[in-house]
Chain A
Amino acid sequence: MDGAFVIETIIKILIVLGLFSALAGFGTYVERKVLAFMQRRLGPMHVGPYGLLQVLADGIKLFTKEDFIPKGANRVIFMIAPVITAATAFIAMAAIPMFPEFTLGGYTVKPIISDINVGLLFVLGVMATGLYGPLLAGMASQNKWSILGAARTAIQFLSYEVVTGLSVLAPVMIVGSLSLIDFNNYQAGGVSDWLLWKQPVAFVLFLIAGFAETNRTPFDLLEHEAEVISGYATEYSGMRWGMFFIGEYANMFTLGFLASLIFLGGFNDLWFIPGAIAILLKVFFIFFFLLWTRASWPHVRPDQLMWLCWKVLMPIAVINVVVTGIVMMF
Chain B
Amino acid sequence: MSGLEQFKDRNVSQNYYKVKIEPYPKTPWEKFKRVVKRTFKLELFVGLKITLLEMIRFNIHTIQYPKEKLPIAPRYRAVHKLLRLLESGTERCIGCGLCEKICIANCIRIDTKVDEFGRKVPTEYTINFGRCIFCGYCAEVCPELAIVHGPDYENASEQRAHFALKEDMLTPLDKLKEQKEFPGFGAPTPAADQLIKKTPLAY
Q: Do A and B bind each other?
A: yes
Given A296-B48, A296-B50, A297-B47, are A34 and B64 also a contact pair (CB < 8 Å)?
no
Extra inter-chain contacts (17) besides given A40-B61, A41-B61, CB under 8 Å: A37-B54, A37-B58, A38-B51, A38-B52, A38-B54, A39-B54, A40-B54, A40-B59, A40-B62, A41-B62, A42-B64, A45-B62, A292-B51, A293-B48, A296-B51, A297-B44, A312-B35
Alpha-carbon distance between A295 and B48 when the two chains are bound, in angstroms: 8
What is the 8 Å Cβ interface bit string for chain B, positions 30-48, against chain A (1 contact, 0 not)?
A: 0000010000000010011
**Which are the 4 A-B pairs with shortest beta-carbon distances?**
A42-B62, A296-B47, A38-B51, A296-B51
> Which residue of B is nearest A298, CB measured?
B47
In whole Å, how far is B104's beta carbon from the nearest beta carbon of chain A? 41
Can you name 26 A-B residue pairings with CB atoms under 8 Å? A34-B55, A36-B62, A37-B54, A37-B55, A37-B60, A38-B51, A38-B52, A38-B54, A39-B54, A40-B54, A40-B60, A40-B62, A42-B60, A42-B64, A45-B62, A292-B48, A292-B51, A293-B48, A295-B51, A296-B47, A296-B48, A296-B50, A297-B44, A297-B47, A297-B48, A312-B35
Interface string of A1-41 (1 = CB under 8 A from B): 00000000000000000000000000000000010111111
Closest to A43 in B: B62
A204 CB to closest chain B CB (Å) equals: 10
Residues of A in contact (CB 8 Å), total 15
Q: Which residue of A lies closest to B59 (CB)?
A: A40
User: What are the residues of chain A within 8 A of B52 when measuring CB–CB?
Assistant: 38, 292
Determine the chain B residues whose CB is within 8 A of the CB of A34 once the complex forms.
Answer: 55
Tell me which of A295, A296, A297 has the highest count of chain B C-beta atoms within 10 A of its own C-beta. A296
CA separation between A296 and B35, bound complex, in Å? 19
Contacts of B44 on A, CB cut-off 8 Å?
A: 296-297
CB pair B64 A45 closer than 8 Å = yes
Distance (whole angstroms) from the CB of B47 to the closest CB of chain A:
4
Q: How far, in angstroms, from A45 to B58 measured CA to CA in the complex?
A: 15
Judge whether B48 and A41 touch: CB under 8 Å: no
Q: Which of B44, B54, B55, B62 has the most CB of A within 10 A?
A: B55
Of residues 146 to 178 in B, which have CB atoms within 8 Å of A's CB atoms?
A: none
Give the distance to chain A from B61, nearest Cβ to Cβ, in Å: 5
A320 to chain B, nearest CB (A): 15
Which residues does chain A contribute within 8 Å of B35, judged by CB atoms?
A: 312
Please name the residue on chain B nearest to A297 by beta carbon: B47
Nearest-neighbor residue (CB-CB) of B61 within chain A: A40
Chain A residues whose CB sits within 8 angstroms of the CB of B54 once the complex forms? 37-40
Bound form: Cα–Cα A295–B54 in Å: 11
B residues in contact with A39, CB < 8 Å: 54
Residue of A whose beta carbon sits closest to that of B45:
A296
Nearest chain A residue, comparing its CB with the CB of B52: A292
Docked pose: A295 CA to B49 CA in angstroms: 11
